[in-house]
Amino acid sequence: MASETSDATEGETTALALKILVAGGFGVGKTTLVGAVSEIRPLRTEELLSEAGQLVDDTDGVDRKVTTTVAMDFGRITIRSGLSLYLFGTPGQDRFWFLWDELSQGALGAVVLADTRRMEDCFPAVDYFEHRHIPFVVAVNCFAGARTHGAQNVSRALDLDQGTPVVLCDARDRDSGKEVLIRLVEYAGRMHTARLLDSVS
């Protein structure tokens, strides 16, 4: 979490910039979500899938995918006056996980994107954030032709801690993505407040 000071026409106001991670399995829509909601031109580090990568990248169910993120995606969205979110999209493949520890430092929370056709792909991200006590929401990216599952069914399938939000979304739609981010900020705020109160009680 970081704060920065900006000059306003009527004196100084403090603008808050919060760091958010967007995580999930390979081909789940992380780059799409960051690009859809970002108010600036997003930074992308995508490369074409290679023949060598076919041996390690499972494209079953996402066979039309031709690129992959090799470092991170970055975007920014202003939620309201004085509150901006800096979005860091993580790479989905295991071989790039050494980047996750660096990207997660100072993060308020995370969005774990899930694809019900490949639900097991988001297990590692869920485990990562649960073990590090980083608040997260699961956002089910509703792909065309995929079977629709309710939030409770997804929560049970992922064995989420009680209270972890599960929301349905369309990663291509700005308003849908913004609602996911608002839900995360609200949830993370409650979690951080509860921990602060526990530490002083």
Question: What's the maximum distance between 2 C-alpha atoms anywhere in the chain?
Answer: 59
Tell me, what CATH number does 69's domain have? Answer: 3.40.50.300
- Give the global pTM: 0.80
**What confidence tens digit (pLDDT) does each residue in 84-123 have?**
999 999 887 666 777 889 899 999 999 999 999 899 999 9
59 is a domain residue: no
Residue range 173-178: mean pLDDT, rounded: 97
Q: What residues make up the domain containing 69?
A: 16-50+65-199
Residue 142 covered by a domain: yes
- Per the structure, the count of domains in the chain is 1
Rounded Cα–Cα distance for residues 19 and 9 (Å): 26
Q: Cβ distance 113 to 122 under 8 Å? A: yes
**Residues ≥6 apart with Cβ < 8 Å to 62:** 26, 27, 115, 118
Beta strand 83-89 pairing with 109-114 = unpaired
